[in-house]
Structures are given as structure tokens and as C-alpha cells.
Amino acid sequence: MLNDTVARVTDRIIARSAGLRGPYLERMRKAAEDGPARAHLSCSGQAHAYAGAGPDQAALATKSAGNIGIITTYNDMLSAHQPFERFPELIREAARAVGGTAQVAGGVPAMCDGVTQGTPGMELSLFSRDVIAMAAGVGLSHNTFDAAVFLGVCDKIVPGLVIAAQAFGHLPAIFLPAGPMTSGISNDEKAQVRQKFAAGEVGREELMASEMAAYHGPGTCTFYGTANTNQMLMEFMGLHLPGASFVNPNTPLRDALTVAGAQRALAISHLGNSYTPVCDVLDERAYVNGIVGLHATGGSTNLLIHLVAMARAGGIVLDWHDFSDLAEVTPLLARVYPNGLADVNHFHAAGGLGFMIGQLLQGGLLHNDVATIAGDGLERYTQDPKLQSGQVEWVAGPEHSLNDKILRTVAEPFQPTGGLARLDGTLGNAVSKVSAVKPEHQVIEAPVRVFSDQESVKAAYKNGEFNSDVIVVVRFQGPKANGMPELHSLTPILANLQAKGLKVALVTDGRMSGASGKILSAIHVCPEAVEGGPISKLRDGDILRVDARQGRLEIVTQGVLDRPAVQADLSGNAHGQGRDLFANFRALVGAADTGASCI
């Protein structure tokens, strides 16, 4: 039986979305009826479309077994995306084997937040999601495709691709992951070296050796940050093949899953026997399933922004109350770094997403009655893929956790409620990732130190200015101010202060990485400082209370809201490292709690 809260939240999302969802579905039905333009192109247009198709030219011109449009985010700047270099040829060969064809419809940008952390380039990161959506839309706009496959993994990339897929929601859409890199040194050991470097206890040579041992080869970073949260979502929401998320790159099973995904894309096109457009997969129930998965795994706070924007692209209206209510009934079932010592390879080996989905279905916390690219019913995603004679077969997944220090049952969770919390109060609305914060650190009341950029925080730390309990406020980091960069580079110094016995919290209208977690943080504060939100009225020494248990974010000092808002000089955010190109994005972007979108 479906949990009452899950049912109630789903019903209110359906009611809230009716005015947008109905017209969206009507547009998708009309597009499906019109079909791809391939057969209606002029001879010249068809010749242009097929000229680069090599051995597939004749099939494209004379057959109609189905043509796959590939949207790829391949580059070798991202370890997670480097394996995609091989995927287009695998997909073409797989399509030919069943009488179809495949073409790379377009490549889209994909940046690595791990490279740009703490630099001006990070100010383009959130906006890149909308650029990715638009670029993918350009690729699919040729309208010569019967299905689409999307090659993407990392932080803003999957959300951007999902937004684009819904713009072409009459097409089936399958997401083909590349998988996580094999395990290097432990994420906890890496974090300890970072903290020692921040404290001046080790040099850059030791830090570099540690980082290279952690990030050592192709594949997704192995901690449970935004990239791996994305992979979880694609499985919970029915856009991956079952069990595909965490199979390592360049392995026989990984390649077989890529082949199976390409052939499944043709099977569920309008030319196949099981037409399943993405507009039918990504309905309100699928988004609720995704939010439940986010809480149960202790996933990245970035998804509280991305899921809102993703849903809106399909005519579905989510708000942070939905996340908060679902968190209250969703148990935390996983301990993956930074919520524990294990990485995603250990999680996968312990039973992974298949075991977790089975547990949540048994507990009535997921909708089973959904469409997926694998067929009807989320219960299909309790199965594990196995390689048999070179092809993928799905078998029943484990019924018991293979390591209860990493993965637990609904009956005996790590904690009874989800890993994310919504905060509100006199300072505004915010979110907090609490799954990795020890209970004794989940409520902090202390004086604030106010900063307008993260470099000033680092300078104050180096100068020895943090000697007592403190809530560090970093404002003018919202989407309108500077694109809402992640402030992950502050984590080591805040962790050092906490390790010294100080009560420490972070409050910001910016973001933190999905890899952050040990420090109590109230992030995504809305309204942001540049819009005159209460955060813009704080002064050093004001008392704040951040209470993740009760979901409160309160100004304790009297009279703060009567002050004029502080105005910051943001001219330094306007130029350099590509920021010049994004002035219109900063001017047009919406608030974080509505998805921080420009489209």
C-alpha cells in the first residue's frame, strides 16, 4: 500500500500542475502524430541529413526501421565523460544489427565542477545547465529522429539533458551512463589530506599525490555527490536500463548495456512495438520517486534546484515543501561518502539501487505503477544486469543487504528521515544536507561573520580570526549576483574549525557541492542578497540560529529586518573567464527555489 504522505504529495503536485501539464501533453501528442520530418524533407534536405552517414546513407534514404539521435557530452576534460568517446560507434553498430540507424545529432558543453571549484569558471556552472538544454535542443531540432539517446553524467549535465528531452517529449529518450571510475584511495583519506593542507600541516606535493590517487582514471568520481545522485535519479525515474548506473567504464558489461540501451531505444520508438515517449515516463509519479530516492540515498542538495527546473520543463510544478514532506517519511538507507566511508562501487557491490528500490517499494514509498524505458512497473528496477554469452540478461537482485554498514532495510534504516531538510524562518528559505552532519552539530546558534566572497573567508581563516563559535555567512553568491557558484572549497577550513571544538555553520545564498556534508549548512537562501533579502541586512556579531532538526533559520538579534539592505559592488563578477557572455543569464535567472532557470 502506498504511503499516505507519498500519495498526498503526489496528488497535490498533480493538482498544482494541471494548468501546465495538460497543454504540455497536448503539444507532445500533436508532435507524435506529425512524426519526424525525415520522410517529408526535400530531396536536397535529405541529402544534407544523410551526407555524413557513411554506410548508413542508403538505409536512411530508403528504410524506416528507426533512426536514433545521439546527444553526446563527450570530452576528455571530464573523467566521467571520457568513456563516451567510444559510445557513438557502439550505438551505430547496435542500431544496424536490428535494422536501424544512429547519428550524432549534436554535442553539448560539459564542464567539470571539480576543476572550476573556487575559480571564476564556477560562476558559469549553474548556467551551463540551461546552455546544455538549449544546445541539445538545437541538435534534435533537425527532427529526423525516431528516438534519442543521451550521453551524460555530471552535475548540471543530466538535468540539462532531461530538460531538453522533455522539450522533445514525444520521442523516447534513453540515458546511457559511463559508470564510476574504479576505487582509488578512500574519499575520507583524501578529505583528511585536504584538511591538513588547509591547516598548513602538509605541502602541495602531498596534496597533489593524494588527489591523483583519488581521481586516477576514466569514470565518475566515486563519492556520492551530484554526478552520482544524477545516476540514481535516472534509475529511480525510469530513464536508465535497470542496474546500469554504477557499472564501471570500458568493461564488457558496460558495453553490453550500451548496446542494449540503443536497441531498446528503437524498440520503444513509434516504429517499434512498445512506443514509450519520455513525456509518459516523466510524469508526476516519476518525479516523486526521484525525490524519495534523493532522500533515501542522502543525495546532493543541488538536486533541490535541478529537479524543480527539470519538472517544469514537462509542465510539472514542484516546490521545496514537497521535498520536505517526503523527507519526513523517507528513511535514510545508504551510507556513501560523505555520509559514510564507502564509495559508490562499495554501494553497488552491497546491493545497490536494485536492493534499495525493492526496499522502498515494499515500504510503500515509491510508485510502482509508472512507465519506464524498460517497460511498465518500477519493480523491474529491482533486477541486476548480468552478461550471458555477450548479451545482457536481467536476474533477480539481492533480497538482503550484502553490507549493512553501507546499505540497510526500511525496517532498520540509518536514520528514520531523509538526508535533506528544508529550512525557513526570518532569514528566508533554505535547504540543508543533514545526512552527514552528526546529531550534535545539527543545531547551531552563534554570532555571524559576514563575507561577500569565499576568498575573504579563506583570508580570515589564514589570519587566525576564527577563535570562537561562529556562523559564517557568505552572501551575494546567488544566481542573480554571480551565477550561484558552489562554495565547496570552504569545506576543509570549516571542518578544521569544527574539529577544534568550535560550533560552526555556514549560511549562504550560494550552493555547496554534493560532496559537502560534515558542516551544518543553510544554503540556497532565498531571497538572495542582491534582491534585498534578509541575508543582505546582517552584520558581524548578529546572532543566527540554524536548526536542521526543526527546519528553522532564524535571526535572533532584534531589529535586523529594519535595517537597509547592503549593496555590494558586483562589477568583479561581470568579466573574465567567460563571465562576460552570461550577463543576460544573471539578469533573467529565477530564484533558487523555482529552479534558478533562465529558460
Identify the bridge partners of residue 447 per DSSP, sorted by sequence position.
Answer: 543
Which string of DSSP letters, residue by residue, matches 228-257?
A: HHHHHHHHHTT-SPTT-TTPPTTSHHHHHH
**Torsion from C-alpha of 57, 59, 65, 71, nearest 10 degrees:** -10
Q: Which residues contact 41 (CB under 8 A, 6 or more apart)?
A: 49, 144
- In sequence order, which ranges of 466-590 are alpha helices (DSSP H)? 479-482, 491-499, 583-588
**Which cell is 19 given?**
494548468
Question: How far is CA 8 from its chain centroid?
Answer: 25
CB 363 within 8 A of CB 292: no
Which string of DSSP letters, residue by residue, matches 290-359?
A: HHHHHHHHT--TTHHHHHHHHHHHTT----HHHHHHHHHH--B-B-BTTSSSB-HHHHHHTTHHHHHHHH
**Which cell is 66 given?**
528507426
Q: How far apart are CA 183 and CA 161, in angstroms?
A: 27
Dihedral sign, Cα of residue 57, residue 58, residue 62, residue 63: negative
**Which cell is 264 given?**
531498446
CB 219 within 8 A of CB 180: yes
SS3 content of the chain, % helix, strand, coil (to 5): 45, 15, 40
Cell 557499472, located at residue: 247
Give one word for 99, left, alpha or beta, with left for phi > 0 and alpha for psi -120 to 50: left
Q: Tell me the CA distances in angstroms from 562 to 218, 538, 558, one per residue in order.
A: 53, 11, 9
The span from the first CA to the last CA of the chain, in angstroms, equals 38
Q: What is the identity of the amino acid at 593?
A: D
371-403 CB burial, b ≥16 within 10 A, e <16: bbbbeebbebbbbbbeeeeeebebeebeeebee
- Binding site for [4Fe-4S] cluster: what residues are annotated? 154, 221
- Binding site: what residues are annotated? 154, 221
How many residues in total does the chain contain? 599
3-class secondary-structure state, position 103? strand
